[in-house]
Amino acid sequence: MGRAQNLIGAQGDAWSWGIHGFPERFLETVWIFYPNPIWKKSQENQHFVRHAAFGELLTRIRLGGSVVIASNLPEYLEDACVLGADRWHLKAQCSPLRLGDRGADGLRVPRTHFEKKYLERGEPCWEVTLTIG
């Protein structure tokens, strides 16, 4: 794997970084690892891809670029795939993750302490790549 170009690593609020931190069509790919899911029906609008600010985040990504979301919750990624296609008109590709695999970012799995914990316990993990047309 070659040296990363124009890589910005951040741990924090994706909304602040993605929406207010960059001009339109500036980013190639945004990775969201293990977002905090909110499963109460009354808070469904706060799911990452359901949130109104997700559309603003998409304006910061170049055409042909993508958002990659990794999670251990299949329902969360299924929601991301359906809404990505139906609401945001994105192409969705879902992939299972196994220890030693390479994720969409080219790095070996596990990439986070959450991923390591889940996979070592035998819990399946996935990532979905949502690509902008």
β-bridge partners, 32: 69
pLDDT tens digits for range 84-129 = 999 999 999 988 888 777 877 777 788 888 888 988 898 888 899 9
Q: How far apart are CA 127 and CA 10, in angstroms?
A: 19
DSSP codes, the chain = ----SS-----S-HHIIIIISS-TT-EEEEEEES------GGGGGGSTTTSTHHHHHHHTEEEEEEEEEEES-HHHHHHHHHHHHHTT-EEEEEEEE-TT-B-TTSPBSP-SHHHHHHHHTT--EEEEEEEE-
Q: Is the CATH number of domain 27-132 3.40.50.450?
A: no
Q: How far apart are CA 43 and CA 32, in angstroms?
A: 20
pLDDT of 14:
59
- The alpha carbon of 104 is separated from its chain's Cα centroid by a whole number of angstroms, namely 10
**Best CA proximity match to 130, nearest among 97, 96, 82, 74:** 82
Domain ranges of the chain: 27-132
pLDDT tens digits for range 35-74 = 766 667 777 777 778 887 889 899 999 999 999 999 888 8
In this model, does residue 3 exceed pLDDT 70? no
